[in-house]
Amino acid sequence: MPEPRTVATHCPYCALQCGTRLTRERAGVTVTPTDFPVNRGGLCQKGWTAASLLDTSDRLRHPMVRRDGKLVATDWDTALETVASGLQRLRTEHGADAVGVFGGGGLTNEKAYLLGKFARVALGTSQIDYNGRFCMSSAAAAGTAAFGLDRGLPFPVTDLGGANVVLLAGANPAETMPPLMQHFTRPDLIVIDPRRTATAERAALHLRPAPGTDLALALGLLHIAVVDGWADDDYIRHRTAGFDATWQRAMMWWPERVERVTGVPVTAQRAAVRMLARAERAYVLTGRGAEQHSKGTDTVAGFINLALALGRPGRDGSGYGCLTGQGNGQGGREHGQKADQLPGYRSITDESARDHVSEVWGVLPGTLPGPGRSAYELLDSLGTPDGPRALLVFGSNPAVSAPHAGHITARLSSLDLLVVADFVPSETARMADVVLPVTQWAEEDGTMTSLEGRVLRRRRLQDPPGHARSDLEVLHGLARRLGEPGHRYPTAPREVFDELRRASAGGKADYSGISYERLDTGAALHWPCPAAGPGGDEHPGTPRLFLDGFAHQDGKARFAEVDYRDPAEDVCAEFPLRATTGRVLAQYQSGAQTRRVHDLNAAAWEVFVEIHPDTAERAGLAEGELAVVTSQRGSTVARVRLAETMRTDTVFLPFHFPGDGRANLLTNPELDPRSRMPEFKVAAVRIAPHAPR
């Protein structure tokens, strides 16, 4: 029996990264919340039950290889040799890009960093991207264009509590990150969401645009702000550029036209602008509902335009931010597991960035591959003549979470070699040729970066069960078998973090002044945090960005010239409804983790389709029956849940469930031209009873 022990760490799930204390006693591990600023002693149901993840009954304990069609337990040497020899053969026969790597937004900073280095140096492949592409990439693209720098919230979460008004566009924190709601007790909320969500229930004003029309609404709100005289002309003149071109578009979006396209009444549009404009302190926040569209970047830009016109970003107590979703969705996009980026949030096509990172990695600059395919394009290319023939998956479950999931499952099946590193047998792991059992949150040290850009320590409470190993050890073992020097792939998280600091130095996301030692003293360090601060002292980190100017060279924010376009796929006689997807309180992402926690699964155990009673009646459906929801790409079987609050033209499905309950069997992989975000949030569907009554 291991010794009792307590560590301070953070929840394994979402980007709020609530502070927790883990205590191991004879009876098992317990989780208690700490008074960390974002959660202030609160946790959601997922956080409270997180210890159950540690001893889930089907926890992966041994490496496995597929023999005669079945996964069988083996030892690490055999598993790693099988992977390395398979990769080597494919690289020799087809070139370095025959191997792809798919990472995850839940990996620690250390894992994300080493995975990017492993892909580009040990494998020499350009084919690496991660599931965060499906999460925050539109907000990142729009934020970078507007402000010169993307950090989910460019201010601490606690600043939100001082606001008078907060506009939430496509975000439902009452279900996705409930402890955040305690920061919204003072502000009046304006919620933009087609559904009457738990967050919308608490709003002073709820606007319900048809799915896929948020950009028209954002343009219309900007129109009203300008025409009704709410715009901050002085701020626009001195702190921004590009307003005139933006206005040329927005002037065409008068309120009545916006009402026709979105369904949001003119009175509600005017009320929203009035509330935002009159507030002394106000924030505009976006979530996946606004971002997961083939025009997601433009939609976020539309809301940033509104915030800029009202003079909010870069002011103390006001601003724009994105509520990043995955646990390390922020850090995951900064350290090089994204197809187009190197550590420090640098562009992979920037020659000086390539020189700097090459030097830290000890390789010649010319040997680093260029940008690869984005997440969906990478998955879509698997097993094709031009695409990878092997894929290494770390911390992701694309068989459930990718759009057009039936097609992606077929592509995964077509590979010569699928390798999955995970701690549970996810749906993707069950398809693999080799499964590598790895550590999870309470079994490892490392760092995570929360939605407010604060770097946090994840601390190890106990050893992993069986033969599970850290992902860092897996990468080290594979790299050595591929002929790389072992010292290039350290296995100690602190050592990897120290190298990450050097690689990030001088980049946008500069971590060089952050160390385990400083974090362990409880220092609140938000990046950028260069090695030296003013006067040569330790840098205090940067909790609030843009107060003295935006990150563009002239210090000005940029308005974006955006215009509305319809969803990539519109309703028609065959598919007359719009399906949208999202989360429920008790589940997280693909559900690979939370479906294994008894209390969470008891609260939400199957996929449902939320539908207005009139729409259901027309389709011959009643509460509790099974329905088949069908799009051009596939069908999902879901339990009917009637909701008077639904729009009659829309149905909603949560995306956490496997098999023929996968909501992503329906979703449209049409991509945003800039962020490469798929159109998760709107697909044309029809609905019918599952079996004749």
In whole angstroms, how close is the CB of 43 to ligand SF4 at the nearest point? 4
| Integer angstrom CA distances of residue 76 from 107, 118, 437, 487, 606 | 21, 19, 10, 20, 36
Based on CB atoms, which residue is closest to ligand SF4, 32 or 632? Answer: 32
Based on CB atoms, which residue is closest to ligand SF4, 16 or 276? Answer: 16
Q: Residue 567 gets which letter from DSSP? A: -
In whole angstroms, how close is the CB of 22 to ligand SF4 at the nearest point? 13
In whole angstroms, how close is the CB of 18 to ligand SF4 at the nearest point? 3
Based on CB atoms, which residue is closest to ligand SF4, 16 or 402? Answer: 16
Note the helical H segments in 370-404: 375-381, 398-401
Based on CB atoms, which residue is closest to ligand SF4, 501 or 583? Answer: 583
DSSP per-residue string spanning 55-99: G-TT---S-EEEETTEEEE--HHHHHHHHHHHHHHHHHHH-GGGE
Structure tokens belonging to residue 40: 């202030």
Based on CB atoms, which residue is closest to ligand SF4, 11 or 115? Answer: 11
Based on CB atoms, which residue is closest to ligand SF4, 33 or 388? Answer: 33
In whole angstroms, how close is the CB of 173 to ligand SF4 at the nearest point? 8
Based on CB atoms, which residue is closest to ligand SF4, 7 or 271? Answer: 7
In whole angstroms, how close is the CB of 58 to ligand SF4 at the nearest point? 22
Site size for ligand SF4 (CB under 6 A): 14
Put the strands of the sheet holding 188-192 in their side by side order. Answer: 205-207, 188-192, 165-169, 282-286, 319-322
HSE-CB for 180 with a 13 A CA cutoff: 26
In whole angstroms, how close is the CB of 452 to ligand SF4 at the nearest point? 12
Whose tokens are 């694309």? That residue is 398
The total of other beta-carbon atoms located within 10 Å of residue 505's CB is 17
Based on CB atoms, which residue is closest to ligand SF4, 220 or 329? Answer: 329
> Using CA atoms, how far apart are residues 595 and 577, in angstroms rounded to an integer?
29
- Residue least distant from ligand SF4 (Cβ): 47
Among 9, 24, 46, 118, binds ligand SF4 (CB under 6 A): 46
Please, which of residues 156-185 interact with ligand SF4 by CB under 6 A? 177-179
The mark string for 578-597 relative to ligand SF4 (x by CB under 6 A, - otherwise) is: --------------------
In whole angstroms, how close is the CB of 198 to ligand SF4 at the nearest point? 13
- Work out whether 43 is an interface residue with ligand SF4 (CB under 6 A): yes
SS (H, E, C) 281-340: CEEEEECHHHHCCCCHHHHHHHHHHHHHHCCCCCCCCCEEEECCCCCCHHHHCCCCCCCC
In whole angstroms, how close is the CB of 626 to ligand SF4 at the nearest point? 30
In whole angstroms, how close is the CB of 453 to ligand SF4 at the nearest point? 16
The mark string for 3-42 relative to ligand SF4 (x by CB under 6 A, - otherwise) is: --------x-xx-xxx--------------------x---
Structure tokens belonging to residue 63: 């490496």
> Using CA atoms, how far apart are residues 448 and 110, in angstroms rounded to an integer?
9
Q: What is the CA radius of gyration of the chain?
A: 24
In whole angstroms, how close is the CB of 15 to ligand SF4 at the nearest point? 7
Q: Residue 642 gets which letter from DSSP? A: E
Based on CB atoms, which residue is closest to ligand SF4, 44 or 342? Answer: 44
- Work out whether 454 is an interface residue with ligand SF4 (CB under 6 A): no
DSSP per-residue string spanning 473-511: HHHHHHHHHTT--GGGS--SHHHHHHHHHHHHTTSSS--
The verdict on whether omega for the bond into residue 528 sits within 30 degrees of 0, i.e. cis, is: yes
Helix (H, G, I), strand (E, B) or coil at 533: coil
458 close to 446: Cβ distance less than 8 angstroms: yes
Based on CB atoms, which residue is closest to ligand SF4, 544 or 583? Answer: 583
Based on CB atoms, which residue is closest to ligand SF4, 54 or 310? Answer: 54
In whole angstroms, how close is the CB of 46 to ligand SF4 at the nearest point? 4
In whole angstroms, how close is the CB of 99 to ligand SF4 at the nearest point? 33
Q: Looking at 598-665, which runs of residues are DSSP E strands?
A: 608-611, 626-630, 635-642, 650-654
In our burial notation (b when 16+ CB lie closer than 10 A, e otherwise), range 199-209 reads bbeebebbbbb
Q: Classify the C-alpha dihedral 108-127-429-13 as positive or negative.
A: positive
Q: Which residues pair with residue 421 across a beta bridge?
A: 394, 436
Structure tokens belonging to residue 189: 């909320």
In whole angstroms, how close is the CB of 200 to ligand SF4 at the nearest point? 18
Query: Residue 109 corresponds to which amino acid?
Result: N
Among 22, 44, 353, 357, binds ligand SF4 (CB under 6 A): 44
In whole angstroms, how close is the CB of 329 to ligand SF4 at the nearest point? 12
Among 47, 387, 477, 661, binds ligand SF4 (CB under 6 A): 47
Based on CB atoms, which residue is closest to ligand SF4, 31 or 621? Answer: 31
- Work out whether 451 is an interface residue with ligand SF4 (CB under 6 A): no
Based on CB atoms, which residue is closest to ligand SF4, 43 or 468? Answer: 43
Based on CB atoms, which residue is closest to ligand SF4, 197 or 631? Answer: 197
| Integer angstrom CA distances of residue 205 from 99, 267, 276, 414, 536 | 50, 11, 11, 49, 49
In our burial notation (b when 16+ CB lie closer than 10 A, e otherwise), range 121-136 reads bbbbbbbbbbbbbbbb
Residues within the interface to ligand SF4 (CB under 6 A): 11, 13-14, 16-18, 39, 43-44, 46-47, 177-179
